[in-house]
Amino acid sequence: MNAAHSLERILESATAASGLEDFGPGEFRANAELLLQGAIESGASSSGLDMLAARIRRLLENRLRIVADRKAYPQISAQKLAAPIVVLGLPRSGTTFLHSLLSRDPRLRCPLQWEISRPSPPPRRETFETDPRIALSRAEMAGDAETLRLHMQDAELPVECGPVFAGEFMNTGNFAFWDAPDYLARVMGRDGRGPILAAYAHHKWILQHLQTFAPRERWALKSPQHIANLAELLAAYPDAVLVFTHRDPVDTIPSLASLVSHFRRRTYDAPDLARIGRDVCRLWLDGINRCMDFRASEPAVSARCIDIAYQDLIDRPIAVLERIYQSASMDLEPARAAVVAWIDTHRQDRWREQHGRHEYSPEMFGLTSQEIAAAFSAYRAAFDGAARRTP
């Protein structure tokens, strides 16, 4: 193994670059080691391993600085995180669109791309819209037109919780770049609740860090990853408002496989598209089954969940928001104009005109619609009015 790809070397590099040594609590070392080993064993290209080493180093530097900030500003650890609105569902089921709508409300705090990529020093209310990190983040994205075609993103748009978990290296998003089965199994709970609980503790640290000097009334969060870990999510945020988006896996699984293949081409010389298709299907079948099992075992929790059909979200987004706001005991009216304006400028057809259409099919990834439908039959039956494709 190239010494530059060893975790110890990366840890040393991060401490040298930052001048800091305290990484704080957690299981990040074991998690990062599994990710590195998996990428190496699965044959990631030299450039793919360089990318991973650079990403781990950057996340470790961020972690060191966050711990230092927490010591410098005792008020960070005193922050309360009340009743966040949490959007969850299968990837590509409208979670990003819904999260973006919620971010238009000035009362709701969402983690934004620019502040997650460079979280230290903590963002400030007075410079929140002029912080120079915004321009840095936007410049990094400007050269990636292909990703913009596949997925809506911008420096000032909200990001999912994957990057919030990233400093603990418990992020399903790493699967999009590196084939590391043991790492992914750990993220999904194979090694028990300990690593997942540590990840949610880190998640709370990050939200407290971002909130201290740039607060709003409550957080609006989203991640497909939460569907596999509802018990741990609710242990961290017991009063969370849970919003589930539902879209037919016959549509979401090939779409996600396409996105994963896009990123794997950057990290592997010849990614196996059929394997990607199988792995995507297996990963999220496991996630949604864990979600359904938990909801079945906790009827009180399931009763408070807001289930949203993808087509309703696309066709009637304001009506969907009204349902969510009612459950959250909030009034949509103060945010209505901003939400309507954002919908008008970010309609799917306009995004496609600007960035191109995302084309894919199950067969591109060794799958068929019938196979996907059969695999997810229990989910499709349980949420028949929401998860099945509208004829």
pLDDT by position in tens, the chain (length 391): 577 899 999 999 999 999 999 999 999 999 999 999 999 999 999 999 999 999 999 999 999 999 999 999 999 999 999 999 999 999 999 999 999 999 999 999 999 999 999 999 999 999 999 999 999 999 888 766 565 555 567 889 899 999 999 999 999 999 999 999 999 999 999 899 999 999 999 999 999 999 999 999 999 999 999 999 999 999 999 999 999 999 999 999 999 999 999 999 999 999 999 999 999 999 999 999 999 999 999 999 999 999 999 999 999 999 999 999 999 999 999 999 999 999 988 765 555 555 455 678 999 999 999 999 999 999 999 986 565 543 2
Question: Which candidate, 208, 217, 236, 216, places its Cα nearest to that of 69?
Answer: 208
* DSSP summary character for residue 129: T
pLDDT score for 246: 96
Q: What is the CATH number of the domain that holds 222?
A: 3.40.50.300
DSSP sequence for 224-265: GGGGG-HHHHHHH-TTPEEEEEE--HHHHHHHHHHHHHHHHT
pLDDT score for 359: 76
Domain-embedded: residue 251: yes
Domain-embedded: residue 274: yes
- What range defines the domain where residue 218 resides? 83-178+193-387
DSSP sequence for 191-218: T-HHHHHHHHHHHHHHHHHHHTTS--SE
pLDDT score for 183: 97
Q: Which amino acid makes up residue 128?
A: F
Domain-embedded: residue 335: yes
pTM for the complete prediction? 0.93
pLDDT score for 118: 97
Is 391 in a helix, a strand, or coil?
A: coil
Q: How far apart are the first and last CA of the chain?
A: 52
pLDDT score for 150: 55
Residue corresponding to tokens 């619609």: 369
pLDDT score for 143: 67
- Measure the CA–CA gap between 43 and 52, rounded to whole angstroms: 13
Domain-embedded: residue 77: no
pLDDT score for 18: 97
Number of structural domains the chain divides into? 1
Is the CB of residue 194 less than 8 Å from the CB of residue 28?
no
Identify the sign of the CA torsion 5, 7, 9, 15.
positive
The mean predicted confidence, pLDDT, of the chain is 92
Side by side, the strands of the sheet bearing 306-309 are 108-109, 218-222, 85-89, 241-246, 306-309
* Dihedral, CA of residue 136, residue 137, residue 139 and residue 141, to nearest 10: 170
Domain-embedded: residue 11: no
pLDDT score for 154: 84
pLDDT score for 355: 46
Residues 336-377: pLDDT tens digits?
999 999 998 876 555 555 545 567 899 999 999 999 999 999
Q: Dihedrals φ, ψ of 245, to 5°?
A: -95, 145
pLDDT score for 30: 97
Number of H helices, E strands in the chain: 21, 5
Look up residue 35 and give its two tokens: 């990710």
pLDDT score for 347: 63
Displacement of CA 39 from its chain's centroid (Å): 20
Burial (CB < 10 A; 0-12, 13-18, 19+), residue 289, is middle
Domain-embedded: residue 142: yes
Domain-embedded: residue 67: no
Identify the sign of the CA torsion 322, 326, 329, 331.
positive
Domain-embedded: residue 61: no
Is the CB of residue 256 less than 8 Å from the CB of residue 150?
no
